[in-house]
């Protein structure tokens, strides 16, 4: 907890709120996470070194919209101590005699077949996603990008562009990269059916400050729609999605695969989902 508060204290040294001069979604989320700690755990001695966080927390607490939800909140004066519950002694019950279960019939012993993924039921495609991943990983983009266009099957696969909705709320670069990394981790079941190149753009001003930061990328999916595995992931809701035409949008796709060629924004870091 001290490490978390220490990090927040540094972030709030020269800022009123986590992302600048106005309250944003990040402030609301962090405030809700800390509320019970400030009420029951963080006594005055514990809070004392984190003046910037305390100032921000009190400011958030006194916002009319916040107060309307959480009401009056008294800050912790004495850290709550854990009191283990008393164990109740239960009378020993006689163990019932084990009844002999009838042997299951052969039909019952047969395991039910696993539910098939609809994407596995699609007609065979001439484009191998696994082969593209290997080609892209093991060769220069000057070879792998042409391979992609020469072999892509628009009947069996699709390409989508995604852009993060809340770019103005992005923080330090490492936090933005963690945001993308967490998104990828929650898509474990999609590896067989998808590939992505995501990029963080912006101008690094030093000291952890980034100007015009944004996140966007391209996804290659099996099938012609965004698959269930992606729609079922809550992270997908914070992105705007647009289906691309592989021919008409070739330059955009090439730029994201090559991590270069952008004229209107500055490349900072890229992450791949394979």
How many Å apart are CA 223 and CA 193, to the nearest integer? 9
So what's the pLDDT on residue 82? 61
Mean pLDDT over 249-269 rounds to 96
Polymer length of the chain = 274
- Contacts of residue 97, defined as CB under 8 A and 6 or more positions apart, other chains included, come to none
Put simply, whether the predicted model's pTM sits higher than 0.85 gets the answer no
- Among residues 222, 226, 245, which one has the least CA distance to residue 236? 226
Is the model more confident about 56 or about 211?
211
User: CATH 1.20.1050.10 in the chain, residues?
Assistant: 2-70
Is the model more confident about 75 or about 91?
75
Q: Is the pLDDT of residue 111 over 70?
A: no
- Among residues 123, 149, 133, which one has the least CA distance to residue 224? 123
What integer best gives the mean pLDDT of the chain? 88
Architecture of domain 2-70: Up-down Bundle (1.20)
Mean pLDDT over 12-31 rounds to 84
Share of the chain above pLDDT 90, in %: 50
Secondary-structure class of domain 125-273 per CATH: alpha beta
Q: Is the pLDDT of residue 240 over 70?
A: yes
pLDDT band at residue 100 using 50, 70 and 90 as cut-offs: low
Q: Is the pLDDT of residue 71 over 80?
A: yes
So what's the pLDDT on residue 161? 98
Is the model more confident about 162 or about 86?
162
Q: What is the DSSP string of the chain?
A: -HHHHHHHHHHTSS-SBTTBSS--HHHHHHHHHHHHHHHHT--HHHHTT-HHHHHHHHHHHTSHHHHHHH---PPPSSPPPP-PPPPPPPPPPPPPPPPPPPPPPHHHHSPPPPPPPGGGGSPP-S--HHHHHHHHHHS-HHHHHHHHHHH--TTTEEEEEEEETTGGG--SHHHHHHHHHHHHHTTGGGTTTEEEEEEEEEEEEETTEEEEEEEEEEEEEESSS--HHHHTSGGGGGEEEEEEPTTTTHHHHHHHHHT---SSS-EEEEEEE-
Q: How many Cβ atoms from other residues are within 10 Å of residue 249's Cβ?
A: 15
Q: Is the pLDDT of residue 6 over 80?
A: yes
Edge-first strand listing for the sheet containing 157-164: 239-244, 157-164, 209-222, 194-206, 267-273
Q: Is the pLDDT of residue 256 over 70?
A: yes
User: CATH 3.30.70.1010 in the chain, residues?
Assistant: 125-273
How many Å apart are CA 242 and CA 41, to the nearest integer? 46
Mean pLDDT over 205-226 rounds to 92
Q: How many Cβ atoms from other residues are within 10 Å of residue 145's Cβ?
A: 19
So what's the pLDDT on residue 92? 65
CB contact at 8 A, 187 and 46: no
Q: Is the pLDDT of residue 109 over 60?
A: no
Q: Is the pLDDT of residue 121 over 70?
A: yes
């Amino acid at each position: 907890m001290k490490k978390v508060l220490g990090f927040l204290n540094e972030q709030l040294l020269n800022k009123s709120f986590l992302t600048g001069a106005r309250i944003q979604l990040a402030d609301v989320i962090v405030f809700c996470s800390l509320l019970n700690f400030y009420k029951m755990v963080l006594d005055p001695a514990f809070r004392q070194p984190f003046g910037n966080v305390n100032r921000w927390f009190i400011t958030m607490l006194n916002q009319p919209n916040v107060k309307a939800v959480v009401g009056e909140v008294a800050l912790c004066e004495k850290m709550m101590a854990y009191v283990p519950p008393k164990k109740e002694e239960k009378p020993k019950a006689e163990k019932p005699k084990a009844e002999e279960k009838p042997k299951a019939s052969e039909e019952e012993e047969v395991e039910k077949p696993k539910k098939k993924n609809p994407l596995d039921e699609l007609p065979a495609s001439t484009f191998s996603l696994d082969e593209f991943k290997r080609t892209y990983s093991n060769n220069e983009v000057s070879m792998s990008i042409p391979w992609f266009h020469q072999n892509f099957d628009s009947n069996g696969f699709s390409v989508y562009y995604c852009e993060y909705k809340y770019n103005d709320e992005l923080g330090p670069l490492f936090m933005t990269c963690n945001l993308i990394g967490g998104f990828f981790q929650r898509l474990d079941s999609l590896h067989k059916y998808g590939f992505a190149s995501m990029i963080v753009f912006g101008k690094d001003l030093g000291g952890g400050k980034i100007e015009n930061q944004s996140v966007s990328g391209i996804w290659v999916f099996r099938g012609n729609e965004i698959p269930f595995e992606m729609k079922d992931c809550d992270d997908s809701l914070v992105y705007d999605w647009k289906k691309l035409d592989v021919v008409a949008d070739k330059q955009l796709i090439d730029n994201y695969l090559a991590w270069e060629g952008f004229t209107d924004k500055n490349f900072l870091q890229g992450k791949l989902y394979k």
